[in-house]
Amino acid sequence: MTSQGSTGQPKYQRIADALRTAVQSGEYGPGDRLPGENDLMATYDVARMTARQALGVLQSEGLAQAQDGGVFVRTFKPLRRRGIERLARERWGSGRSVWSADTEDRELVVNRVEVREEAVGRLADALGLSAGSRVWVRSRRFVLDGKPVLFATSYLPSDVVADSAITRADTGPGGTYARLAELGHEPVHFREEIRCRMPSADEAERLSLSLGTPVVQIVRTAFAEGGRAVEVNEMTLDSASYVLEYEFDA
């Protein structure tokens, strides 16, 4: 049974609250080492497991990360994903990546790129395709300032993108949406569905996630004129690395 404080709140949560406040007030800055388990045990007169749980809370929230020598305040600046601005036609239509709306001048590396053709499978209905249809699949991982933050897999109808740059690792300026426009299938409408969950073991490895860190899954469908779906993009984000920002008029 978890030990309780006088307020009925678990002791580990009270300690985590105190540490969080200290981080937010600047008492502990980015890169600073937080009090260790022994320090917390002595200060709060708690068992080691309680101290460990308290530090685990901050790690799961993305405020701290375990490294050799202890638990430290994260130095990684959260990435602001500007959900509406990044998909504007004027961005990818002018040869800029949709990522340029998010990254500013930070270093972005795209790796683990895989491009292949396969049967449509479970996304047949989402893409409006028959069971025997083929799709091109583009998988890639995005690493910002040396930290994996997202991996994405896009599915595009083969009859739309065959023999185009979309079937190659480098799609060129403006990315997939600029190439779709050149093919006569310019995206004019997008739909995104968002959910949060715990990661699979494979997802945790790909994103180098600390234990207990959830992921955000975003599934975006791009539609061309007439309502045809021309891409389904399944994205898995490190929740501790992101702020999802949506700005629009009333």
pLDDT in tens, 145-184: 888 999 999 999 999 999 999 999 999 999 999 999 999 9
| Segments making up each domain of the chain, as ranges | 11-73, 79-245
Query: In the prediction, which pLDDT does 5 show?
Result: 53
- Say what the pTM is: 0.77
Q: What confidence tens digit (pLDDT) does each residue in 1-36 have?
A: 345 655 678 999 999 999 999 998 989 998 899 999
**201 pLDDT exceeds 80?**
yes
What pLDDT band is residue 211 in, cutting at 50, 70 and 90? confident
Average pLDDT over every residue of 68-97: 80
pLDDT of residue 1: 39
CATH architecture of the domain formed by 79-245: 3-Layer(aba) Sandwich (3.40)
* For residues 65-89, average pLDDT: 82
- CATH architecture, range 11-73: Orthogonal Bundle (1.10)
For every residue of the chain, DSSP letters joined together read ---B-TTSSBHHHHHHHHHHHHHHTTSS-TTPBPP-HHHHHHHHT--HHHHHHHHHHHHHTTSEEEETTEEEE--PPPEEEETTGGG-HHHHTTT--TTHHHHTTS-EEEEEEEEEEEE-GGGHHHHT--TT-EEEEEEEEEEETTEEEEEEEEEEEHHHHTTSGGGSS---TTHHHHHHHHTT--EEEEEEEEEEEPPPHHHHHHHTPPTT--EEEEEEEEEETTS-EEEEEEEEEEGGGEEEE-----
Residue 77 has pLDDT above 80, yes or no: no
More confident residue, 31 or 134: 134
Mean pLDDT (the chain) is 89
* Residue 95: predicted pLDDT: 75
